[in-house]
A = this chain, B = another copy of it.
């Protein structure tokens, strides 16, 4: 029986904030953005309480696409974030190579990439934030367990989160030294990583395979995923899940999963039991 993390009251204003942000990316016409906000505000009373945030995000971003006729409002910022992250790639590789614990450093680099996020409305500066976070010790640190699982694993499923962050995922994937299947969203939603973004991030060289979870939600909500993905998810020796959206969908799932993320909002921080801004390497069901 899968009990998923539900939306909280605090998520509702945040959905509206995401809407204003997506609106600004789609158009300079304040009147049109106001219309989009109005439409999403009108949805709020009807959002079911037993949904997870990515399920709601799926509905909202679908509505934004319908109203604006734009399939991928975040297209240009995603491209820009990937390009900026690729410029940091050599430095990050060097940091990992010269580290006394390259795998743990690569995990921290991958988590640092998780600052690239438009879903939570926090501002970020990739270059400065990345360096700060790689120096930050995770508030929950199951790296020992992570290493043990990795040693035994023959197949790894790696659930991607945002475009740009995907370049930092690549650094960890290259350090895992096992066959890794990198999972992307089925269609563009928010700034989440799609197949094309994964390829632009160089993951077609690093990962064994890039496969879509089949979902149109900004997170891994199993009932919204393809049968093929669910099968992979159930069979994989090790599952690595990046970011809040995947956590929100999978936090109470009934199999071992490692969550690598930065807690970017009070709701998630409270749910995990850390402070806002903390980073986490958390294994469940071990």
Contacts and interface: CB of A to CB of B under 8 A. Distances in A.
A149 B207 CA distance: 69
A9 B33 contact: yes
Interface in A178-204: none
Q: How large is the interface on A (under 10, 10 to 19, 20 to 34, 35 or more residues)?
A: 20 to 34
A44 B49 contact: no
Q: How many copies does the complex hold?
A: 2
A276 to B, nearest CB: 9
Interface string A3-15: 0000001101110
A17 B17 CA distance: 10
A38 interface: yes
A20 B12 contact: yes
A30 interface: yes
Interface in A65-92: none
A232 interface: no
29 contacts: A9-B20, A9-B23, A9-B24, A9-B30, A9-B33, A9-B34, A9-B37, A10-B17, A10-B20, A12-B16, A12-B20, A12-B37, A12-B41, A13-B13, A13-B14, A13-B16, A13-B17, A13-B19, A13-B20, A16-B41, A16-B44, A37-B44, A38-B44, A38-B45, A41-B42, A41-B45, A42-B42, A42-B44, A42-B45
